[in-house]
Structure 1
Amino acid sequence: MLPKVDLSDIADELTRLGDEIQRAYEDSEQAVDPAPQVSLSGFAQLLDAVRAGEADSHGGSAQLLRAATGAEPDALLDHGLGLLRQLAEVARRLNQESHAQAVEVLVVPFTCWMLRRGAELQHPEEVVSALATLANSLEEPDELAELYGLMDEIADGIGADRIQGMDPTDPTDPWLILLINRGIVATRSHQPALMEAAFDAIGEQLPDHAPYFFREGMGQMETLNYPTQVRELMQRYFDKWCSGQRLH
């Protein structure tokens, strides 16, 4: 199930996870630093501060956030991501892998909430990783279509400098991973309109990767029982990118 882009829901889920991580911390015989409560308290304080950033526009929200916190929305977003990362690392050191992953997933709704209030995502690595975790946990096309919407928001919120600095030869580049994963999620949503938008972006921004993506996509069409309209659309992009001189 997708997390809601809502500060109260984020806070409630973090309280639930934090209680369990704190119990594991108290029961642990190994020394783990910092204590989970450090991250939990810091994030709770941050949520209280950013709740002031409610306005009818991105610019208005950003102005309210600056007035309430004395910090730029980008910096507040980075701070929140850092606190969640710190808590997930503590959970992992306590052998609470499932709780660590659940904490990491919360970076998605928190990021989207901040983006809607004027922040720009300068360091997308962990958010892109969390989106992949969510995609792997979903099966229903409607939920995948909803996830596609969140992926779009995050793609739109990534700083232009980060996108321009993409290294298409690096398979770990977060912008490349996001575009590819968004194409996969669009396909699994069974919605041709989402597929076209995602596929066009891959062709425009990752032309060297496009033939491999659509060749792999056609292989999935043959392996899995995709609807006719999905198969036909994938075939069209396969024909465009994987025929003639493009085949290599």
Structure 2
Amino acid sequence: MLFPILDLSYIGQRFDAIAPAVVSAGMQAGVKDPDNSPTALQQAMHRLMELLEILIDQVESADEATHTSLDELSELGDYGIKLLVDFSTIAAGLEMPRESEEMEDLTLPMALWIVRHQGELRTLEPVINSLARLANRFREPSQLQQLYDLSVELIQAMEPLMQQEPTRIELAHPWSILVMNQAIIATRSYQPELIEQAYETLCRLLPDQAPDFFREGMEQMDAQNYPQLVKEVVEKYYNLWGQPRTLH
């Protein structure tokens, strides 16, 4: 499993495994902004995790989650994602690329935790960065299947929001990257059924961008030596979407 148990304890434990080295480096480097130092961000994250634990206990003990409680969960969850991004940025500035990537990668389980508790995902770009890194790292079909399933979960949670203004405008670019990344993950899995599902989603959600995607996909098939079964699916969608349309 990509995330053994996807809960706040897992996120907190991973954060606490990464943060101390960055805090130590920040103290040695004498980070000037006390409100945006690794130490301050570490403390802010610990406070946030406590608040989220209290809030989720309240939500789960109530007969029905209220709009106010879910909005608060969305707001605090979004703050958590931004704290992780800030920490990642500071780690990069301290020339700690591994810790920077690992901290940004925590935005993916945080995003999944938010949507699984009926919250809204309001910051998407770092989550997509994490998803893309995992896609580049994994090679086994079972791993890519898991990653594909997570991308489906994110897209299904985000789709209703993408029908609303101003969310649709604000998140249009990262949303399109998420949908295309899902199709890329499916293609790399070499599983025709997943590829078909992902391509249908792509055509439905991004019809204007689908033709370029399938044209580029055809170019990659021979260059990357994809299996024949995969090539056949890509060629099918290329023939449907990728060729210039003419009027008759």
TM-score range, shorter chain: 0.7 to 0.9
Q: In structure 2, what residue type is equivalent to 1:198?
A: A
Structure 1: give runs of 5+ residues left out of the alignment.
none
Q: Give the equivalent residue in structure 1 for 2:94.
A: 94
Q: Give the equivalent residue in structure 2 for 1:40.
A: 42
Q: Give the equivalent residue in structure 2 for 1:10.
A: 11
Q: Report the alpha carbon displacement of residue 118 of structure 1 after superposing the two structures with TM.
A: 1.1
Q: Please list the CA deviations of residues 169-215 of structure 1 after superposition, one character each: whole Å capped at 9, or x if unmatched.
A: x9x80111111111101101122222112111221222222121112
Q: Please list the CA deviations of residues 78-110 of structure 1 after superposition, one character each: whole Å capped at 9, or x if unmatched.
A: 111121122112212222222111100100001
Structure 1 distance, partners of 2:190, 2:63, is 37
SS at match of 2:211: helix
- Output the TM-score relative to the length of structure 2: 0.83
Q: Give the equivalent residue in structure 2 for 1:72.
A: 72
Change (3 A) 1:121 1:61: farther
Structure 1 distance, partners of 2:94, 2:244, is 54
Structure 2 distance, partners of 1:20, 1:242, is 49
Q: Does 1:134 align with 2:134?
A: yes
Q: In structure 1, what residue type is equivalent to 2:219?
A: G
The answer to whether the Cα contact below 8 Å between 2:81 and 2:123 also exists between their aligned partners in 1 is no
The answer to whether the Cα contact below 8 Å between 1:32 and 1:93 also exists between their aligned partners in 2 is no
Change (3 A) 1:156 1:55: farther
- Spell out the pairing of 1:233-244 with structure 2 (5 A cutoff): 233-243=233-243
For the aligned residue pairs, the C-alpha RMSD in angstroms reads 3.0
Higher mean C-alpha displacement, 118-127 vs 70-79: 70-79
Q: Does 1:27 align with 2:7?
A: no
Change (3 A) 1:223 1:164: farther
The number of equivalent residue pairs is 239
The answer to whether the Cα contact below 8 Å between 1:88 and 1:100 also exists between their aligned partners in 2 is yes
Q: Report the alpha carbon displacement of residue 119 of structure 1 after superposing the two structures with TM.
A: 0.3
Change (3 A) 1:6 1:227: farther
Q: Give the equivalent residue in structure 2 for 1:190.
A: 190
Q: In structure 1, what residue type is equivalent to 2:49?
A: L
Q: Report the alpha carbon displacement of residue 56 of structure 1 after superposing the two structures with TM.
A: 11
The answer to whether the Cα contact below 8 Å between 1:7 and 1:47 also exists between their aligned partners in 2 is yes
Higher mean C-alpha displacement, 74-83 vs 175-184: 74-83
Change (3 A) 1:208 1:56: same
The answer to whether the Cα contact below 8 Å between 2:218 and 2:238 also exists between their aligned partners in 1 is yes
More helix by share: 2
Change (3 A) 1:3 1:39: farther
Change (3 A) 1:155 1:60: farther
Q: In structure 1, what residue type is equivalent to 2:26?
A: Y
Q: Report the alpha carbon displacement of residue 163 of structure 1 after superposing the two structures with TM.
A: 4.8
Q: Report the alpha carbon displacement of residue 29 of structure 1 after superposing the two structures with TM.
A: 4.7
- Spell out the pairing of 1:148-167 with structure 2 (5 A cutoff): 148-158=148-158, 160-163=160-163, 166=168
Structure 1 distance, partners of 2:63, 2:190, is 37
The answer to whether the Cα contact below 8 Å between 1:54 and 1:117 also exists between their aligned partners in 2 is no
Change (3 A) 1:56 1:138: farther
